[in-house]
Amino acid sequence: MNREDIARMRPLERKALLDEIVAMLMAGELRIGDAARILRSAVLGLDRQAFAQVVKLSERAIAKLEDDPHANPTLETLKRVFAPFGGTVTLMFPQVEDTESLGEDRRQRRAVILDALAKNRRRIRGNPKR
C-alpha cells in the first residue's frame, strides 16, 4: 500500500482502511506507533520532519512514538498526531471479535496494512531485526 493506492481509493474505501487500523489497534495487532507510522507515511506520504511541522511536534517526539515500543505519549501528542486523519483520542472497550470470521476483504486489508508497516519500519541502530 502506497500513497498512490490510497489516492485512488473512494472515500468509503479510505474510511474502511482507517476503521481497520483502529480494529487492529484494539485487537493488539498494531501498536499505536505503528498506526501513526502507517498513517503518516502511506496516507499522507510525509516524512517525519514534514509531519512534525504539520502537527507542531518535534521530530524526536514522532520518532519516539513510532519506534519505541515502550513510548508513553501524552494525550496532547496523540491528539495532534491523529488530528490530520480526523482521529480523536477516546476511551473504548473492545468488542470481542473472532478473526476467523473476518470477511475476505477485511483479511486482505489487514494484510496490506501489515505489509505497509513492514516496508515503512525503520531499522533501529544495533537491532538488525527491525
Spell out the residues 6+ positions from residue 91 whose beta carbon is closer than 8 angstroms to its own.
none
Task: State the average pLDDT over residues 57-76.
Answer: 95
Per-residue model confidence (pLDDT) at position 42 = 85
Per-residue model confidence (pLDDT) at position 121 = 72
What percent of the chain is modeled with pLDDT above 90? Answer: 43
Q: How far apart are CA 93 and CA 73, in angstroms?
A: 20
Q: Give me the chain's average pLDDT, please.
A: 85
Per-residue model confidence (pLDDT) at position 101 = 67
Confidence band of 43 (pLDDT split at 50, 70, 90): confident
Question: Which residue, 25, 23, 47, is CA-closest to 37?
Answer: 47
Per-residue model confidence (pLDDT) at position 59 = 96
Beta carbons of 120 and 37 less than 8 angstroms apart: yes
Q: Is the pLDDT of residue 125 over 60?
A: no
Backbone angles phi and psi of 29, in degrees to 5: -80, -20
Q: How far apart are CA 59 and CA 77, in angstroms?
A: 12
